[in-house]
Amino acid sequence: MQFRLLRGLAGIFLTLLCMGLLSLRYRLNLSPKSVQERLRLSSPSTRPPELQLRDVFIAIKTTRAFHRSRLELLLDTWVSRTRKQTFVFTDSLDEGLQERLGPHLVVTNCSAEHSHPALSCKMAAEFDAFLASGLRWFCHVDDDNYVNARALLKLLKAFPQTLDVYVGRPSLNRPIHASEPQPHNRTRLVQFWFATGGAGFCINRKLALKMAPWASGPRFVDTSALIRLPDDCTVGYIIECKLGGHLQPSPLFHSHLETLQLLGASQLLEQVTLSYGVFEGKLNVIKLQGPLSPKEDPSRFRSLHCLLYPDTPWCPQLVAR
């Protein structure tokens, strides 16, 4: 009996020893390359591909009164380089624009007035169109902004893809205050930062989806009316007060409310957005020597465009060399 037990234990030991040797031999035969390949196949990557300009939805807000004086300048300059990503949101049908833009001209049912409800109506249309597009970033600009697509892409690539991102330029040096209605006819004082729409701002899709309960469909206009503030303030309110997010301030966005001449020539090509207009009774434009004269190019957008894209057909030949 004792002999049979010893024989059985010896057989089990021999079987385990053989299996261990076979396993060791198999592992030794695996090269580092084959191990990496097996890990790659067994662990599919979830990291999104590198951000490209085609992943960005750029929305321009305008009105019929500025179709000729402002919008055509943008179409001749930076929009000519970002046409597939850029959509124009206006309040009136324009056959000339429709011919140039096709489905990238979005005629909203919003009023042409420069009022809080009208502006929020257009912002809501922009936001809904972005959500429907499936793209990764939403960037809003006004019809007096120049967008440097290269600088924009560089900025957006710098943000980790795991974060909720709201980036732009604050118009104030302090948070704005608002009264938020509460039940039982009460109000609550809230404060938050917001990026001025006049300089442009961007929001990634991860954050935009979280904004939907307050920003999609008619909800954006309702939220704006609730706090009695314009569209760009409403965006900041939703992100900071409702979602607990934060504005990432960036000095690379610019509106006509700044003294644009303070930007040095060496800085211009690094900026994400620029603007032009009249501020405090004076023409407010970037300071740029050539290639077009101020008479030929009062906004300086065409000269800037020639510096960025010297191969543009209408740019002076001297710049193209």
Positions marked catalytic: 232
Taking the C-alpha atoms of residue 112 and residue 144, their distance in angstroms, rounded to an integer, is 17
Residue 178 main-chain phi, psi, to 5 deg: -150, 155
Tally Cβ neighbours within 10 Å of residue 135.
18
Tokens read off for 279? 């501020």
Task: Answer whether 274's CB lies under 8 Å from 304's CB.
Answer: yes
Rg (CA), the chain: 29
The Cα 130–Cα 85 span in angstroms is 11
Q: What is the DSSP string of 240-286?
A: IIIS----EE-TT---TTS-GGGS-HHHHTT-SEEE-EEETTEEE--
For 68-77, letters b (16+ CB in 10 Å) and e give eebbebbbeb
**Which residue matches tokens 């005629």?**
107
